[in-house]
Amino acid sequence: MIWLLRFTALVAAFYLVRELVRWAWRNLFADPAAREQQAVRRGTVRRDPVCGTYVDVEVSVQVQEDGEVLHFCSTRCRDTYNARQSTVSAAH
């Protein structure tokens, strides 16, 4: 009977190690560009229209424009975008 407990413990340990390796491979050793693309597909990040970096929607600086929410990585990028938009509006 003790062999069954040992076998079960061995199988459980193997499963846990396998899952840990799979998690590490996906999250730690994956190509950063591939991780960004996956996050974009999941909808958790958006591309900053000024500098082009990807920013998490939870921490982004947001601006509502024409019914669309724009996400910026910083207030500096938001201000740059607003300045560009006002010069375009003034030119027309």
CB distance 72 to 61 below 8 Å: yes
Domain ranges of the chain: 1-30, 31-92
35 CB contacts (<8 Å, ≥6 apart)?
Answer: 27
What pLDDT is stored for residue 62 in this prediction? 93
CA dihedral 28, 30, 33, 36 (to 10 degrees): -60
Q: What is the pLDDT along the chain (92 residues), one digit of tens a residue?
A: 899 999 999 999 999 999 999 988 877 776 777 777 777 777 788 889 999 988 888 889 999 988 899 999 999 999 999 998 888 766 66
Phi-psi region of 66 (alpha: psi -120 to 50; beta: other; left: phi over 0): left
61 CB contacts (<8 Å, ≥6 apart)?
Answer: 71, 72, 73, 74, 75, 77, 78
Q: What is the pTM of this model?
A: 0.54
Tokens coding 64: 């509502």
